Structure 1
Amino acid sequence: MYKKEQWPLTLYFDGDCPLCAREIKVLRSHASPGRLQFVDIDEEGFDAAALGFSLEQMHDALHARFADGTWVTGLDATLWSWRAAGLGAWAAPLSWRPLRPLLNLGYRLFCRWRPHLAWLPHPDGSRRCRDGSCPVSPPSDQNR
């Protein structure tokens, strides 16, 4: 277990991803800033290179960094972010060694399919529209 001085954990997340944004909403509602902080990698001005990564690498897997500079990615980033928010019991199966290979496979598959899930409703509807354009078509007038 990490020591108190290694908190906060900074979670780097894809704010444009509807499923990711829902998870972040849950974590924000439970986390204290002293234990968990959030950085949206899709916000203007975010520089992945300053952290030693490409934006593509950060989009390919969840990244989190402890205050001591230790990085965790993928399932471990998920597990530690839920622990930091005080919700570790919900993510406990992610730490079960016999399940790790299967869970890692599932996580990798999710990461591949995640970009194709952009059609799902985003908890922040304004994320859909940027610079005057919306990638999701408005409802048709055929039902009127």
Structure 2
Amino acid sequence: MYKKVNWPLTLYFDGECPLCAREIKFLQGRAAKDRLFFVDISSGAFDAKALGFTFEHMQSSLHACFADGLWVTGLDATLWSWRAAGLGFWATPLTWSVFRPLLEFGYRLFCRLRPHLAWLPHPDSGRRCVDKRCAVPTSKLASDEQSTLKTKQT
């Protein structure tokens, strides 16, 4: 697929998703700092439009961009991020053409179900709790929808 990989790879992920955050935490612990960068799209500082995308598009599946500007999404973004973290052996089944259609189906299903998995424990949940009260930050999409509603009401 690629003759030469142009590292680093920048991985765009939704830090509000408990399962996504767990995978990112796992990758961060193994990736070389100069080979894999992480950008949390749920951060208020993230601007999808600056990259030529909408926030909804970025949230619909995993996105990654190589140093030369080549974008990969979905399972390919997963494959290359795991390779960047030195875990390519574990992601090798993503390259097997016999399993790829089934894996693509499973990934699309996960992407549809992902917004409904917010109830799962988040790896940062301890930092979100103070004085026996826990707060889950509002996602960028939810805060954008609230702003739209407020604008329509006025």
So what's the TM-score if we normalise by structure 1?
0.86
Q: Provide structure 1 residue ranges, at least 5 long, that are not aligned to the other structure.
A: 132-144
Q: Provide structure 2 residue ranges, at least 5 long, that are not aligned to the other structure.
A: 129-133, 139-154
Secondary structure at the aligned position of 2:99 is classed as helix
Question: 1:110 aligns to what?
Answer: 110
Question: 1:3 aligns to what?
Answer: 4
Instruction: Measure how far apart 1:34 and its partner are.
Output: 1.0
Secondary structure at the aligned position of 2:75 is classed as helix
Secondary structure at the aligned position of 1:38 is classed as strand
Q: Which AA in structure 1 matches 2:35?
A: R
Question: 1:65 aligns to what?
Answer: 65
Q: Take 1:69 and 1:78, find their aligned partners in 2: how far apart are those partners?
A: 17
Matches within 5 A, 1:114-133: 114-125=114-125, 126=128, 128-130=135-137
CA-atom RMSD, angstroms?
A: 1.5
Instruction: Measure how far apart 1:98 and its partner are.
Output: 1.1
Question: 1:16 aligns to what?
Answer: 16
Q: Take 1:41 and 1:23, find their aligned partners in 2: how far apart are those partners?
A: 15
Instruction: Measure how far apart 1:2 and its partner are.
Output: 5.5
Aligned residues: 130
Cα 1:128–1:15 change in 2 (3 A) is farther
Instruction: Measure how far apart 1:129 and its partner are.
Output: 2.8
Deviation readout 1:54-102 (Å, 9 max, x if unpaired): 0001110000000000000000000000000000111110111111111
Question: 2:34 aligns to what?
Answer: 34
Instruction: Measure how far apart 1:128 and its partner are.
Output: 4.5
Q: Percent identity of the aligned residues? A: 68
Tell me if the contact between 1:122 and 1:128 (Cα under 8 Å) persists in the aligned partners: no
Instruction: Measure how far apart 1:44 and its partner are.
Output: 1.0
